[in-house]
Chain A
């Protein structure tokens, strides 16, 4: 339970920290850390404009997306405290729940009949299809190495043993989760949420027609996803037997660092050319494959 509350809490600060990092690095005064949350409240206060083309799908899509991401967060463990709901193969459930949210976001965008939103929907579907295998290869590597098939057990057995090799997987896991998060939460270099041309956007162009309450929900989904990936990184890092308050501090440090990393990436890197994105995303899977091969060697299945 604590895990979910912490993820919610992290989601509140996450976009603000990214924003602050960007303004500090670029030497601007910039908005405060709570600006994104304030924006949410503004959206909640506002009324809504619906396109005359849209129907029920457009209206329920944001709510379903949010519900599915929240449900995905249910199976995330919090360090040694474990998760609220844990079962074998819960990471499969996690991944498919995220996909369900995306499915609705995509058809919600297609409901407007706008070519811009169709384009965004198409790109979202395409890129998230490409990133899917990376997560599964990584989890398969973990499952093979630890012999467990659920988030809590896998992360629980991380760093328990004196196996120094686990450091490799920790590093690779962190790198892969960060890269996956960049794709899943529409961040530079895959997507630029702050770009000013519809043709160059992925996520932002999908929600051109959403307003008020629905738009707020969609933003919350994105913030939550960032926090969820941050929490995955934290879980990879946390050693067993850590005291609860230490875990809390580590959690905060990880989330803040993660947000700063994203902010720094956005400050110093341009967005990929759109047709470079598939290569970029497939490279993530390639690294995941490497992790798997390393695991094969370390478990003495391959070469001695």
Chain B
């Protein structure tokens, strides 16, 4: 009880941030945040270690109080949220320094308060079972993240992006609200606990789709993703890290909650999730490749990773439907572990992209290059993040993808025709996603960090402050730890499934799986050892020989400049040809007229549109606003006309009443 009192106290205290003098606001917020993190982590540990796998309490504001409870699934998400939110806040100190003089105390207060409340709302979202309170928290999450996104609102584009984000979040909220109302009407109770009862008595798939639409917008499944590539680049980097790392996972959390309550139509739900996830994964990474904005590229990769998580969920659901325990276990644990993994490497990548932005003031890869010599820490962080996101061993991304792969391959032997086709498509999809991710991140890393600086701002870059480097070591350490000793992490993930409401006999295949993961750890160790031996030997070898430094080989041409390097555009060129049907790249070039003997300066640029955004958001909005504009004829501005409207309205009502129509 004291815990929830303390938590409530922190909620109230957070409002005091407005009264604290500007220089101390950060420390004040940090104290509140870390207290809350420690407190909720204790709750999570409680939930994990207790026999029933449940922690419950009441928040005391009202006489009745809001019931909060955490089962192991909630506890897992609490831990994920805690890690990323805390590192994000530690990172923000250095990142926000350039803004310190430009922004007023109030603006900082709002930013910190929103950050705190985004955190609180995420914790509450995973702990509240009651529908109304859940929706309130869901709304707070949308509002606070909106305020965080528009931190730099002097830029009009950012404000516009923020508002479009807010609208799309509310569209998602509407779906969830509608779904909850349907449950309420049928069962008289509006909560997650009533879902099971509803699903036992009513059709499953339609309500599930409604929930999926709502949660899917938050998670960013294609074609519900249109807010994501806009909002992530607009937000400050620590916020993008938190939003991409954990906030979109709240959508995944919601989907898992609903999934585990499904009673019927599981096969249909599984196939649906798998199909839409494959689409998200593939298209997400395909659109990522053509992006030149570092943070936009990362945002599209969030869609890809949500796709990978979704593939895991889909496989697990198909396992549930067909009574295949191995599929269920591997699919779900792969997906849940990938939630943690993605939160780690994605936030790390956003933080290091933020470091690059802090130093060079650009996110455009075509203006970067050669940062590896100047920013060794940031470069290595970005490299670790890239390797992990590509799912390469011995980093953490490999482990979760491996689990999903194994599930897919194991499912094949006992699958019927339909399942075989689904499984093989998922295998092909996953392997293609892997290949495309390697293509994308060799480009992102190679063009931004290697080679010769393409602009003077990249050339004059220097490493960011220690305050920004140290927080990033936390995700790096966890990424390597999960990659190298995955066995430690897979048990907690699996215990989530064993305590879930689903009555599924968890198969005995667990121990061979643990053996597989141990083997991977061993080979990972051998790999590191081999590299070390080779590098030490190389060092000793080169010491005894002549080592000279010269210019890069230019085929005999010695006056090469930075402009002759391969660019992000040229790197994606041949790929663009292949992916033309999906990616709409438009070129803009000034033509050279024939009569112009000495051509002057010309500009050329390429732009890649997101076809989904164009056809699902932009064009309908345009159509709607042009239709509504026609209605503006009514607004004449003359009071007589308005009185006439009112009179006509009353008359119509009277007539309708007279004929008993209304």
Contact = CB atoms under 8 A, between A and B. Distances in A.
Interface in A113-148: 113-119, 121-123, 125-126, 128-130, 132-133, 135-137, 139-140, 143-144, 147
Given A113-B450, A133-B428, A140-B409, A128 B435 contact: yes
Interface stretch (B178-186, B270-278, B490-498, B530-538): B530-538
Nearest to B545: A47
Given A51-B552, A71-B523, A110-B450, A129 B530 contact: no
Interface in B538-589: 538, 541-542, 545-555, 560, 562, 564-566, 570-571, 573-575, 577-578
A88 B420 contact: no
A215 B376 CA distance: 25
B91 interface: no
B410 A149 contact: yes
A208 B535 CA distance: 21
Contact of A136 (B427, B445, B450): B427
Interface in A75-129: 75, 85-90, 92-93, 95-97, 99-100, 102-103, 106-107, 110-119, 121-123, 125-126, 128-129
A182 interface: no
Given A103-B392, A122-B574, A55 B530 contact: no
Nearest to B533: A67
A278 B578 contact: yes
Given A103-B438, A278-B578, A110 B447 contact: yes
B-side interface mostly: helix
B458 to A, nearest CB: 12
Interface stretch (B5-13, B24-32, B514-522, B639-647): B514-522
Interface in A55-80: 55-57, 59-60, 63-64, 66-68, 70-71, 74-75
B279 interface: no
B552 A209 contact: yes
Contacts of B534: 63, 66-67, 217
A-side interface mostly: helix
B526 A112 contact: no
A117 B452 CA distance: 13
Interface string B11-42: 00000000000000000000000000000000
B391 interface: yes
Contact of B439 (A113, A129, A301): A129
A52 interface: yes
Contacts of A119: 566, 570
B416 interface: yes
A53 B552 contact: yes
| Central interface residue in B383, B423, B434, by most chain A CB within 10 Å | B434
B526 A113 contact: no
A126 B442 CA distance: 11
A209 B438 CA distance: 23
Interface in A207-247: 208-209, 212-214, 217
B569 to A, nearest CB: 11
A44 B541 CA distance: 9
Interface stretch (B132-140, B398-406, B595-603): B398-406
Contacts of A63: 531, 534-535, 538
A165 interface: no
Contacts of A114: 552-554, 560, 565
Given A125-B439, A128-B435, A107 B445 contact: yes
B536 to A, nearest CB: 10
Given A52-B550, A99-B392, A103-B392, A88 B516 contact: yes
B105 interface: no
Interface string A25-59: 00000000000000000001011111111111101
A interface bracket (residues with beta carbon within 8 Å of B): 35 or more
B65 interface: no
A75 B524 CA distance: 12
B324 to A, nearest CB: 14
A111 B535 CA distance: 18
Interface string B375-412: 01000000100010011110000100010011011101
B498 to A, nearest CB: 21
Contacts of B546: 47-48
Contact of A75 (B376, B424, B442, B523): B523
A46 B542 CA distance: 9
B387 A122 contact: no
A97 B452 CA distance: 29
B450 A107 contact: yes
Contact of A301 (B420, B431, B542): B420
A287 B466 CA distance: 54
Interface residues of B, number: 85
B520 A123 contact: no
Contacts of A137: 424, 427-428
A123 B406 CA distance: 30
B565 A55 contact: no
A67 B550 contact: no
Given A113-B565, A114-B553, A64 B531 contact: yes
Given A53-B451, A107-B442, A133-B428, A48 B547 contact: yes
B547 A89 contact: no
Contact of B442 (A106, A149, A208): A106
Contacts of B408: 140
B249 to A, nearest CB: 24
Contact of B570 (A95, A118, A212): A118
A63 B548 CA distance: 20
A89 B399 CA distance: 11
Given A48-B547, A110-B451, A123 B574 contact: yes
Contacts of A14: none
A117 B447 CA distance: 12
Nearest to A95: B431
Contact of B565 (A88, A115, A147): A115
Given A57-B450, A87-B516, A103-B390, A296 B574 contact: no
B555 A74 contact: no
B450 A111 contact: yes
A50 B549 contact: yes
Contacts of A47: 542, 545-548
B593 interface: no
B553 A122 contact: no
Contacts of B538: 59, 63, 213-214
Nearest to A50: B549
Contacts of B575: 126
B109 interface: no
Nearest to A44: B541
Contact of A213 (B424, B541, B571): B541
A48 to B, nearest CB: 5
Interface in B412-465: 412-413, 415-417, 420, 423-424, 427-428, 430-432, 434-436, 438-439, 441-443, 445-447, 450-452
A301 B428 contact: no
A66 B545 CA distance: 21
A55 B372 contact: yes
Given A87-B519, A136-B431, 15 more contacts: A50-B547, A50-B550, A51-B552, A71-B530, A88-B516, A100-B392, A106-B438, A113-B552, A117-B566, A126-B574, A135-B431, A136-B427, A139-B409, A143-B409, A214-B538
20 contacts: A48-B547, A49-B550, A63-B534, A70-B530, A71-B527, A96-B398, A100-B393, A103-B387, A103-B442, A116-B554, A118-B566, A121-B571, A122-B443, A125-B439, A132-B432, A133-B431, A133-B432, A139-B409, A140-B408, A140-B427
Ranked 8 nearest A-B pairs via Cβ: A118-B566, A110-B446, A113-B451, A47-B546, A129-B435, A132-B435, A67-B530, A63-B534
Interface of B: 369-370, 372-373, 376, 383, 387, 390-393, 398, 402, 405-406, 408-410, 412-413, 415-417, 420, 423-424, 427-428, 430-432, 434-436, 438-439, 441-443, 445-447, 450-452, 512-513, 515-516, 519-520, 522-523, 526-527, 530-531, 534-535, 538, 541-542, 545-555, 560, 562, 564-566, 570-571, 573-575, 577-578
